[in-house]
C-alpha cells in the first residue's frame, strides 16, 4: 500500500475510487483501517473518493509519540497534513468511536478543510472515559513501568504494529521508557478531562459553533450510548440523527461492548445513509 511521510512519520493509506468528492473515514480504538474497507468500497461505488489510513501507532504506520497535544489532536493534524498532500481538501471527515473523535477535532482545528461530518458510535460520559483511559493509556503505563520498552513491544497492540512494520520494534526500543510513560500520562490526563463534555475532546460551545453538516448514526452500547448521539445531534445545528441502523436499546439494556458482527451487517444501510446525505448536501452546494 502507498505511504507518505506525514509530519515526520510514515503513514500507510489507501484511496478507494478515482473521482468525485473526497471523504476520509477512520476506525475506532487504535485499530488498522482494513475494517472499513468494505464500507469505503460501497461509498466509492457512488462516485466518491474515500481515503483510509493507519494513524501513527496503528496498523502498518510508524509508531511515534507526541505529547504536545492530545492523541486525537495529533491524529487530526496528521490527517490534515495527509489530505493536504493528496489534494483532498475540503473533504467530509468521518469515523467510528475514536475515529469520530478525530473527525470532530479535525473540523474544530481545520474548519477550512472540512466540508462535513459522518459519525457513528460516538463516545461520551464518565463510564466511557474511565474505561477507555485505562485501556488506551493506563495499561500501557503499567506495562512500561514493569518491563520497560521491551514489555511494550510484547503487548498485543504493539506486537501487531511490529508484525505489520518490523522497523517499529527498533523505533520503540530507541525510546526511553520514562518518556513513553510521560506521553501516555499526558494523553490520559487530557482524555480524563473530557468526562463531562458532550463527546470526548469537544465542548458544548465548540459543537454549537459548528457550521458543518453532520450525519450521525446512533450506537447501542455503554461506551457509545444513544444519549451521547442525541446530545451531539442537539448541539450541532445542521445535523441529522439515525437511530435505526443497529438494534435500538434502552439505557438499561445497552450492550457492554459493541457488536462487531451487527455493525458489519449494517454496512449496506450505513452506506445508503451516508451517500444519500452527501448527495443532498452536494446538491445544496457543499463541496
DSSP 237-270: SSEEEE--SS----TTS-BSS--HHHHHHTHHHH
- At 149 the three-state DSSP class reads helix
- One domain for residues 118 and 138: no
Same domain for 74 and 186: no
Which residues, at least 6 apart from 19, have a Cβ–Cβ distance to it below 8 Å? 47, 49
pLDDT average, residue stretch 13-24: 97
Q: How far apart are CA 149 and CA 155, in angstroms?
A: 10
Look up the domain containing 144 and give its range. Answer: 129-191
d(CA 52, CA 102): 13
Which of 10, 30, 50 shows the shortest CA–CA distance to 102? 30
Number of domains in the chain: 2
Q: Is 80 exceeded by the pLDDT of residue 1?
A: no
Indicate if 106 and 9 belong to the same structural domain.
Answer: yes
CA-based nearest residue to 38, from 285, 282, 269? 269
Residues 227 and 155 reside in one and the same domain: no
The CATH number given to whatever domain includes residue 44 is 3.40.50.1820
What mean pLDDT do residues 2-30 have? 97
- Note the pLDDT tens digit of each residue in 103-121: 999 999 999 999 999 999 9
Residue 153 has pLDDT above 60, yes or no: yes
Residues 167 and 150 reside in one and the same domain: yes
Closest CA to 120 of 250, 27, 227: 27
The pLDDT assigned to 287 comes to: 57
Percent above pLDDT 70 for the chain = 99
Q: Over the chain, what is the mean pLDDT?
A: 96
From 148, 168, 191, the end of a domain falls on: 191
Q: Grid cell 473527525 — which residue?
A: 103
Check residue 134 and report its DSSP letter.
Answer: I
Q: Are residues 156 and 90 in the same domain?
A: no
Q: Are 81 and 187 in the same domain? A: no
Within this chain, do residues 254 and 173 fall inside the same structural domain, yes or no?
no
* DSSP conformational letter for 136: I
Same domain, 21 and 158: no
What local confidence, expressed as pLDDT, does residue 6 receive? 98
Where among 174, 191, 208 does a domain terminate?
191
75 and 12 both lie in a single domain: yes
Residues 8 and 92 in one domain: yes
Give 245: exposed, middle or buried? Use CB within 10 Å, 0-12, 13-18, 19+.
buried
Average pLDDT over residues 157-167: 98
The residue out of 140, 166, 191 marking a domain boundary is 191
pLDDT for 285 equals: 63
pLDDT digits (tens, 9 = 90+) for 231-283: 999 999 999 999 999 999 988 899 999 999 999 999 999 999 999 999 999 88
pLDDT value of position 238: 96
pTM recorded for the entire structure: 0.96
Do 93 and 226 sit in the same domain of this protein? Answer: yes
Q: What is the DSSP string of 163-213?
A: HHSTHHHHHHHTS-HHHHHHHHHHHHHHHHTTTTSSBTTB-HHHHHT--SE
pLDDT beyond 80 at 284: no
Amino acid at each position: 500500500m502507498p505511504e507518505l511521510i506525514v509530519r515526520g512519520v510514515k503513514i500507510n493509506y489507501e484511496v478507494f475510487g478515482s473521482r468525485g468528492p473526497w471523504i476520509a473515514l477512520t476506525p475506532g480504538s487504535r485499530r488498522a483501517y482494513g475494517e472499513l474497507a468494505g464500507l469505503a468500497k460501497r461509498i466509492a461505488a457512488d462516485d466518491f473518493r474515500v481515503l483510509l489510513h493507519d494513524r501513527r501507532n496503528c496498523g502498518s504506520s510508524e509508531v511515534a509519540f507526541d505529547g504536545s497535544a492530545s492523541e486525537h489532536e495529533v491524529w487530526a493534524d496528521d490527517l490534515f497534513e495527509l489530505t493536504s498532500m493528496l489534494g483532498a481538501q475540503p473533504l467530509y471527515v468521518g469515523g467510528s468511536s475514536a475515529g469520530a473523535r478525530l473527525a470532530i477535532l479535525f473540523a474544530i482545528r481545520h474548519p477550512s478543510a472540512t466540508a462535513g461530518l459522518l459519525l457513528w458510535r460516538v463516545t461520551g460520559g464518565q463510564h466511557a472515559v474511565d474505561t477507555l483511559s485505562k485501556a488506551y493509556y493506563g495499561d500501557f503505563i503499567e506495562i512500561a513501568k514493569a518491563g520497560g520498552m521491551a514489555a511494550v513491544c510484547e503487548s498485543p497492540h504493539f506486537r501487531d504494529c511490529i508484525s505489520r512494520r518490523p522497523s517499529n520494534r527498533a523505533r520503540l526500543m530507541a525510546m526511553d521508557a520514562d518518556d513513553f510513560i510521560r506521553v501516555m500520562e499526558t494523553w490520559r490526563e487530557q482524555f480524563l478531562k473530557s468526562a463531562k463534555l458532550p463527546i470526548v475532546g469537544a465542548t458544548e460551545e465548540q459543537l454549537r459553533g459548528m457550521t458543518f453538516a453532520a450525519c450521525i448514526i446512533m450506537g447501542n452500547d455503554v461506551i457509545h450510548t444513544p444519549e451521547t448521539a442525541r446530545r451531539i445531534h442537539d448541539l450541532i445545528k445542521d445535523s441529522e440523527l439515525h437511530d435505526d441502523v443497529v438494534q435500538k436499546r434502552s439505557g438499561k439494556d445497552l450492550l457492554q461492548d459493541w457488536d462487531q458482527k451487527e455493525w458489519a451487517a449494517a454496512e449496506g444501510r450505513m452506506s445508503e445513509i451516508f451517500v444519500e446525505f452527501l448527495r443532498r448536501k452536494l446538491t445544496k452546494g457543499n463541496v
